[in-house]
Amino acid sequence: HIYAENFMVFEKEKIQQSKILIVDDEPLNLDILEAILESSDYKNIYSTSDPREVLSLQKKYSFDLILLDVNMPYMSGIEVLSALSEFISGGFLPVLILTANIDDETRYNALKLGATDFLTKPFNQWEVLLRIHNMLRTRLFYKGQKIRADELEEKVRERTERIKDSQLKIIQCLGKAVEFRDNETGAHVIRMSRSCQMLGLAAGLCEKHAEKILYASPMHDVGKIGIQDNILLKPGK
């Protein structure tokens, strides 16, 4: 029970720390929304009446939520959504559309471009806060999952590197074993494997493929391990 309470407090604090951008050409609407958010202890509130600034602001601050008017000079809300497409699709950036009246075509275009929900003017404070809270909670969950996915990917990468290192050590040990059977094989194996890698790259192979050749080529003489000494080490050619 205590853990659940602590988690809820932590979640609430994280949500209140979220960065929110309000975009509306009406200063009164900006003031109202800022006041509503501040009344619920949201700490990072940004606003602009010029939709042309939205993309640069998003690149600079990486907002967790954007409240976006539709009918504005210079750029419509639909055009702003289009400009934000890489952030909406690639990073789950929730966008809450602010509207007094919106036709079906505009609603369709907004949703198609990634708008998350709509908020009708004039604003009801409880509705504003609930919609924003729900979106930010989803955003917080997404970011947590993204962090865990990145951590898992890093662990997989580390383990893959360890496996590759182990395989390389096995190959090196076999190369050493071949070297003991034939004194002419030692440094030659290293030079030969590097040369094979360089030739592969020069022939147009990708770096990953050429690296495989680098690791595999020292095995080309491994059969010497199984050859009898009186044959392998006989005098003459």
- Here the tokens at position 122 are 């004039």
Phi, psi of 228 (to 5 degrees): -65, 145
More confident position, 140 or 34: 34
Beta 95-99 vs 117-120: how paired, if at all? parallel
Instruction: Show the DSSP H helices in 40-124 as ranges.
Output: 54-61, 77-83, 85-91, 104-112
Q: Where would I find the H helices in 100-185? A: 104-112, 125-181
Judged by phi (left if over 0) then psi (alpha if -120 to 50, else beta), residue 67 lies in beta
Identify the band that residue 52 occupies on the pLDDT scale cut at 50, 70 and 90.
very high
Q: Is omega for the bond preceding 122 within 30 degrees of 0, making it cis?
A: yes
At 168-207, the pLDDT tens digits run 778 777 777 776 766 555 567 778 888 999 999 999 999 9
pLDDT at 119 over 70: yes
What is the pLDDT averaged over residues 94-107? 85
Separation between Cα atoms, residue 104 and residue 110, nearest integer Å: 10
Hey, how many other C-beta atoms are within 10 angstroms of the C-beta on 67?
A: 27
Residue 37 is given by DSSP the state H
Return the percentage of the chain with pLDDT > 90, whole number.
35
Give the pTM: 0.63
To the nearest 10°, the Cα dihedral for 28, 126, 45, 32? 10
Which residue from 78, 72, 48, 63 is spatially nearest to 135, judged by alpha carbons?
63
Q: Which residues are registered as beta bridge partners of 23?
A: 48, 68
Integer CA distances (angstroms), 188 to 183, 198, 217, in order: 10, 15, 11
Assess contact for 23 and 80: CB atoms under 8 A.
yes
